[in-house]
């Protein structure tokens, strides 16, 4: 079975890819329509015992529908683990292509989409129920081509429209197998898979670079301020003298536009930053009307109500200009304190105070409590040295995020054009 090796594909000139000549080279008029069920079987997962499913870390990751990104791809977040006996026939291998057959969202956001089991020397990945494993039936098929086919909106719309259930949507191996599509020759499948996989390889590289830089930044913060032997000599001030806590605004959904100035909502918080996926917008002419809610670079946003209580995000330049929605606070420095220092100090404060929330129907932080929290003020020379180093780190990570956004947009445009 052809798996389509793309190890060297990072060298492809993705940014200079010319769309029309590439599409013409595919000779789509020669493709033959087939049914997906002629190419793959979809194997059901195993019903692992609920009593052994845990959020406490073990080497055994239980793959769930929550491990699929909207649009497809594997999501290595919020893992569930298993600490019981494991049937060997339900252990995934690296690179296995899987699909999700259940979705809890109203619109079936991830239903049917594909993902690949990641390379991971520290964990094994378990084939849970409602996850389908693709088993290939033909030798003239590039597995990665099918992986990308199952990340197209046309395919996913077919799955959602044929799904059963209302509040929880389900699909099945039979329904997945009914999807029909034009299949190119093997060499063309390989060509398509290689170019699309090249985008993801480069995106993954940039994500890993940012994780390394973010880890180094945290190490520097701890070196300068947490592990500093002279920290007991530093001045202490209440948070009210260091920053202001700014409320957002309850923008009305009927005012949302398809384009304009973005409104940052708590759903846009991801991995400590604001992502530009699933943004809503206001008319550009409303910017002055809501100017007091305009965000700035490095603003520290904190969810202070609801199930995501304590989740935070730092504002970076690629999202601006943007407006602050309700259900979050914005911690913005006063005076000469470094915003970088405040942002990392806030992460320490949140970790130490997350259990102090009060409330009834909706949990919330008390702003008056936060303002009283003491914070150490390091000497100005140390703070400015840290600030300069963080400027360099954040310049690199911001540029990487911009590249990631551009590559994702190019990949999605190409994916749509290939399978149109």
Place of tokens 């649009």: 71
**Residue 390 in contact with residue 217, Cβ under 8 Å?**
yes
Gap between the Cα atoms of 126 and 352, Å rounded: 34
pLDDT computed for residue 173 by the predictor: 95
| Number of residues in the chain | 420
Look at the pTM and tell me if it is higher than 0.85. no
pLDDT computed for residue 78 by the predictor: 83
Gap between the Cα atoms of 327 and 202, Å rounded: 35
**Residue 154 in contact with residue 419, Cβ under 8 Å?**
yes
Query: Where are the chain's structural domains?
Result: 1-31+185-209+219-224+381-420, 32-183, 235-377
User: In the β-sheet with 124-126, what is the strand arrangement from edge to edge?
Assistant: 53-54, 80-82, 60-62, 124-126
pLDDT computed for residue 343 by the predictor: 96
CB atoms within 10 A of CB 38: 12
Place of tokens 């005076």: 335
CA angle 136, 192, 179 (to 5 degrees): 45
User: Quick check: do 32-183 and 235-377 share a fold?
Assistant: yes
What one-character-per-residue DSSP string does 287-355 give? Answer: TTTTGGGB--TT-EEEE-BSTTTT-EEE--GGG-S-EEBSSEEEEEE-TT--HHHHHHHHHHHHHHHGG
The closest alpha carbon to 61, from 78, 49, 43, belongs to: 78
Gap between the Cα atoms of 420 and 414, Å rounded: 10
SS3 151: coil
pLDDT beneath 70: ranges in the chain? 1-17, 354-364
Structure tokens at 147: 């992986």
pLDDT computed for residue 248 by the predictor: 95
pLDDT computed for residue 23 by the predictor: 85
Gap between the Cα atoms of 67 and 81, Å rounded: 12
DSSP bridge pairs for 40: 136
**Domain range 32-183, its CATH number among 1.20.1740.10, 3.90.220.20, 3.40.50.150, 3.30.70.260:** 3.90.220.20
CB atoms within 10 A of CB 261: 19
The closest alpha carbon to 329, from 243, 403, 256, belongs to: 243
pLDDT computed for residue 1 by the predictor: 52
pLDDT computed for residue 16 by the predictor: 54
The domain made up of 235-377 is a member of CATH 3.90.220.20: yes
pLDDT computed for residue 106 by the predictor: 76
pLDDT computed for residue 60 by the predictor: 96
Orientation angle between helical segments 339-353 and 380-418, nearest 10 degrees: 80
The closest alpha carbon to 337, from 380, 374, 396, belongs to: 380
According to DSSP, the β-strands at 261-264 and 323-324 are: parallel
Gap between the Cα atoms of 244 and 154, Å rounded: 47
């Amino acid at each position: 079975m052809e798996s389509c090796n793309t190890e060297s594909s990072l060298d492809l000139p993705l940014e200079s890819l010319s769309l029309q000549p590439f599409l013409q080279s595919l000779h789509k008029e020669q493709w033959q329509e087939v049914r997906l069920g002629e190419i793959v079987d979809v194997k059901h997962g195993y019903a692992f015992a609920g009593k052994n499913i845990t959020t406490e870390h073990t080497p055994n990751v239980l793959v769930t529908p929550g491990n699929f990104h909207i649009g497809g791809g594997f999501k290595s977040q919020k893992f569930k683990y298993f600490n019981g006996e494991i049937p060997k026939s339900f252990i995934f291998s690296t690179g296995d292509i899987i699909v999700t057959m259940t979705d809890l969202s109203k619109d079936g956001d991830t239903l049917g989409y594909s993902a690949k089991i990641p390379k991971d020397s520290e964990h094994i990945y378990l084939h849970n129920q409602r996850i389908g494993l693709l088993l290939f039936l033909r030798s003239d098929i590039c597995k990665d081509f099918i992986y990308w086919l199952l990340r197209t909106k046309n395919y996913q719309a077919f799955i959602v429209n044929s799904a059963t259930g209302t509040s929880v949507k389900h699909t099945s191996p039979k329904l997945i197998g009914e999807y029909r599509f034009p299949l190119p020759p093997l060499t063309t499948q390989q060509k398509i898979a290689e170019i699309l996989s090249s985008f993801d390889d480069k995106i993954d590289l940039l994500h890993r670079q940012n994780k390394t830089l973010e880890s180094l930044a945290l190490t520097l913060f701890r070196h300068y301020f947490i592990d500093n032997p002279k920290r007991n000599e530093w001045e202490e001030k209440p948070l009210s003298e260091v920053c202001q806590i700014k409320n957002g605004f309850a923008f009305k959904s009927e005012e949302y536009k398809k384009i304009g100035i973005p409104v940052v909502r708590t759903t846009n918080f991801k991995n400590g930053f604001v992502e530009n996926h699933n943004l809503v917008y206001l008319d550009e002419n409303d910017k002055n009307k809501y100017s007091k809610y305009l965000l700035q670079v490095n603003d520290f946003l904190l969810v202070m109500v609801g199930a995501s209580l304590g989740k935070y995000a730092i504002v970076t330049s690629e999202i601006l200009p943007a407006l602050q929605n309700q259900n979050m606070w914005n911690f913005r420095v006063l005076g000469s304190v470094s915003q970088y220092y405040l942002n990392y100090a806030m992460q320490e404060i949140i970790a130490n105070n997350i259990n102090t929330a009060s409330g009834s129907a909706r949990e919330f932080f008390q702003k008056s409590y936060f303002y009283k929290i003491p914070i150490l003020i390091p000497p100005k020379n140390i703070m400015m040295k840290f600030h300069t180093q963080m400027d360099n780190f954040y310049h690199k990570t911001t540029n990487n995020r911009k590249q990631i956004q551009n590559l994702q947009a190019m990949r999605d445009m190409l994916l749509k054009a290939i399978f149109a």
